[in-house]
Amino acid sequence: METIMYEDLYFDDPDEYQSGSYGKIKVCYYNNKKYAYKQFKNSKFLNGKRRKLSMLSNINISRLLVPKFWVCKNGNAKNAYLTDFCKGKSFDFLGVENIENKVNKINDSKNLIISMHEEGIIHADLNPSNILYNKEKTSIIDFDTCSFRNYKTNLLETTDYCQEFIKKYGIKPELDIFMFNILTYSLIQDCDYYLVRNSINKQKYGFFDNKYGRKICNSLFLDDDIPNNDFLIDTIDESKFIF
């Protein structure tokens, strides 16, 4: 992946940024094209990941917002990178949409996840903040902790519910499906995502007060010897949506 200089970037407002778990994200321009600039709070987070992220830059699926350029700032190379910019909202905001829009965006994301897996990528962090949507499409961001070819996800950098899956089954594409199904359930049932996630992780059935909801919920628990590879959006009865 090519390295470019920070001085060659143009920022509308250098002080305006979004803060993530491991870094800051700013909107910038390079060669008259709009990008998202990601600067890491601690460069050690990228140790062991730089080669993987460089390899990801060759993925040519436009809606997978993988790194495109390393950025050298103050003599420090490969501690920041650019990705293509996508104007949209995260799935954190999809809950306010009507049921038809929810289903359309969930299905569009499902197809994108299938394409991602065909490229050999297991994202391993498909939470609402890492899927963006607008009127035309959905996109997936933040591949820092993904598994790609010979580069595996670091168990210690994943969330608790991911760790339970990985400990039981290993790092498989079904991990993304499991995570996406939790997100699908919370959107369709109009529930708080993090409460659903924590309830599933701790196997607290009481939260799911709707009978059909409990049936769906049962399919998300990690009780089987083989992980479930069915997308929830393909298996639920639309006539029983709660909205």
Give the per-residue pLDDT at 58: 95
Q: Is the distance from CB of 181 to CB of 232 less than 8 angstroms?
A: yes
What is the CA 104 to chain-centroid distance, rounded? Answer: 18
Give the per-residue pLDDT at 104: 93
- CA dist., res. 120 & res. 127, Å (int): 19
- Range(s) of the chain covered by CATH 1.10.510.10: 89-240
22-57 in b/e burial notation, b at 16+ Cβ within 10 A?
A: bbebbbbebeeeebbbbbbeeeebbeebbebbbbbb
Give the per-residue pLDDT at 112: 98
Nearest CA to 54 out of 38, 65, 67 is that of 67
pTM score of the predicted model: 0.90
- CA dist., res. 220 & res. 222, Å (int): 7
Please list the rounded mean pLDDT of every run of 10 residues in the chain (243 residues).
96 76 86 94 86 95 96 89 93 88 94 97 94 94 91 80 84 92 88 81 60 60 78 74 47
Give the per-residue pLDDT at 195: 82
- Range(s) of the chain covered by CATH 3.30.200.20: 3-84
Give the per-residue pLDDT at 242: 47
* Residues 89-240, CATH architecture: Orthogonal Bundle (1.10)
Q: For 162, how many CA atoms within 13 A lie in the half-sphere containing its CB? A: 23
- CA dist., res. 26 & res. 13, Å (int): 9
The region, left, alpha or beta by phi > 0 then psi within -120 to 50, assigned to residue 170 is: left
* Residues 3-84, CATH architecture: 2-Layer Sandwich (3.30)
Give the per-residue pLDDT at 211: 56
Q: CB-based contacts of 151: which residues, under 8 Å, 6+ apart?
A: 48, 49, 51, 52, 55
